Amino acid sequence: MNTLDAIKARHSTRAFSDKQISAEDLQTILYAGGQAAVGGGDFKSMKLIAVQDPEVLKAIDEASAKRRPGSHPLYGAPTLVVLASKQSILPNIEFTNAGCVLENVLLAATDLGIDSIYLWMTMYGINDEPALMERLGFPEGFTCIGTVALGYADREFKKPKADEMRIEVSCI
């Protein structure tokens, strides 16, 4: 798949089957995340953590659901890529860096035929629970700044308005 095809094909999945992604694909996806553009080249300000332990995933799902009782913010995904960060050498650039890293993760997954979704709710869930941050191995001073769930959809999801230009554009 070329890059533009992956950009076109990527879409959010909100119900995953139990089927796990392969270890090889996971390494390729994490590598892609680590190749992202990062402000000031401050790669040391971030850490990517792949979570596949069912108990830890359940704990993240439950912690994240506290803000929306009855929900399953992880959508049953068998893998969650967690991006942790401390303050960068360029203050306030952290979430922009996260977007770059995690978009690479999403596009690499799409290229490999793996379904995905960028998740924000899980960030609250993790950061609300210091014990969870410790279990995830966050270095001192790091917090979660974004996550991506990976796996295989258990039903078909369509990209909303895939044939339209979704963001207003002007050229001057």
Judged by the rule CB under 6 A, the positions of this chain that interact with ligand FMN are 11-12, 14, 117-121, 159-160
Q: SS3 of 77, please?
A: coil
Residue (16 or 118) nearer to ligand FMN, CB:
118
Residue 153 — φ and ψ, nearest 5°?
A: -60, 140
CB of 99 to ligand FMN, least distance (A): 7
By C-beta, is 75 or 138 nearer to ligand FMN?
75
Closest distance to ligand FMN from the beta carbon of 143 (Å): 15
CB-based contacts of 150, cutoff 8 Å, min separation 6: 21, 26, 29, 77, 78, 79, 80, 81, 105, 109, 114, 115, 116
Residue 90 or 100 with smaller CB distance to ligand FMN: 100
DSSP letter for each residue of 115-126: EEEEESHHHHHH
Nearer to ligand FMN, 31 or 120 (CB): 120
Least Å from the CB of residue 19 to ligand FMN: 20
- Least distance from ligand FMN to the Cβ atom of residue 36, Å: 14
- The answer for residues whose C-beta is within 8 angstroms of residue 165's C-beta and 6 or more apart is none
